[in-house]
Amino acid sequence: MKSLRVATCQFSVEADIEHNCGWALQQIGQAAGGGANVVHFSECALSGYAGVDIPNVRAIDWDKLRAATRDIMAAAKRHRVWVLLGSTHYLDDETKPHNCVYVINPKGDIVDRYDKRFCTGVCGSQATLDLVHYSPGDRYVTFQVKGFTCGVAICYDYRFPELYRGYKQRGVQVMFQSFHNARKSVVADPKYNIWKTIVPATVCCRAAENHVWFSANNSSTRPSKWASFAVRPDGQIMGRLRLHQPGVLFTDMTLDSKLMDAPGPWRTAAMQGRLHSGELVAHPRSAAVTGL
């Protein structure tokens, strides 16, 4: 049975690019030492998250960010691992950048870039700021590692199941989902934390309804809403890191036909618009919906 070893990484993402780069380099080395094929970092892990870690994208030193990105690329080549690096991608001085994940191969090349498609706008009366700082993307991103088809998504994307149906149609078997639910809340009450419930529950649902693996990570900055975790295709969480602690979670992802895939027999038909199982009947008592 083929296997993909994934290192799901978390550390405290800060406004300091050198701090973030130092942690990323350390964890790439740790992941490679543990036999990882793919090293996965959280949303805006290198650049810091505008409106949360940093006041806005004007605070980013783009030359320093590019240099740090090249250091990460060199580390991927040195350790011969894939790296999924959350960062910010510059467009021009007049256009908002992308909140992105760079896909870096073991040769140290950026082979693709996923740009967050669903940037947050308004949550109740609270602006959640993404669209103030970032331009949304509009592309699926897939890549191949050891015979596995992998896909990428970022944070708020997870609220939109249509994206994951699209990835399933593209043959994706492993999803890399980078989050940043840390440092401050988007709601007035700092004790309100629906994210610790809804994020794992939703990711487990996305995994089970599409029968794919998930690596889901987060910044460990206090107060972090939840700790990074991995989910197998039947929806079972297979491991978690410790809240507010830097760490690397290793998961050996295999395609086990014995894992339950409840919607499997009808998933393809459902994605094509046939939203029932079995054969429909043409019967007067079936059509008489108000009678006994």
Of 85-89, 205-209, 288-292, minimum mean pLDDT range: 288-292
Question: How would residue 34 be classed by pLDDT, with cut points 50, 70 and 90?
Answer: very high
Please determine, for residue 226, whether its predicted confidence score (pLDDT) is greater than 50.
yes
Would you state the structure tokens that stand for residue 124, as one six-digit string? 């109740």
Could you give the CA distance from residue 282 to residue 276 in angstroms, rounded to a whole number? 15
Could you give the CA distance from residue 84 to residue 76 in angstroms, rounded to a whole number? 10
**DSSP state, residue 146:** T
How many Cα atoms within 13 Å fall on the side-chain side of residue 259?
17
Could you give the CA distance from residue 161 to residue 45 in angstroms, rounded to a whole number? 25
Q: Are 98 and 134 in contact (CB under 8 A)?
A: yes
Please determine, for residue 194, whether its predicted confidence score (pLDDT) is greater than 90.
no
Please determine, for residue 42, whether its predicted confidence score (pLDDT) is greater than 50.
yes
pLDDT tens for 134-149 read: 999 999 999 999 999 9
pLDDT above 90 covers what percent of the chain?
91
Please determine, for residue 122, whether its predicted confidence score (pLDDT) is greater than 80.
no
Please determine, for residue 185, whether its predicted confidence score (pLDDT) is greater than 60.
no
Structural domains of the chain ordered from first start:
3-287 (3.60.110.10)
Could you give the CA distance from residue 269 to residue 69 in angstroms, rounded to a whole number? 43
Longest pairwise C-alpha distance within the chain: 73
Please determine, for residue 273, whether its predicted confidence score (pLDDT) is greater than 70.
yes
Please determine, for residue 120, whether its predicted confidence score (pLDDT) is greater than 80.
yes
Q: Average of pLDDT values for 121-138?
A: 77
Note the Cα 25 to chain centre separation in Å: 20
Could you give the CA distance from residue 172 to residue 5 in angstroms, rounded to a whole number? 16
Please determine, for residue 258, whether its predicted confidence score (pLDDT) is greater than 90.
yes
List residues bridging with 88 in a β-sheet: 99
pLDDT for the residue numbered 125: 45
pLDDT for the residue numbered 68: 98
Q: Average of pLDDT values for 197-213?
A: 97
pLDDT tens for 155-184 read: 999 999 999 999 999 999 999 999 999 987
Say how many residues make up the chain. 292
Q: Average of pLDDT values for 57-84?
A: 98
pLDDT above 70 covers what percent of the chain?
96
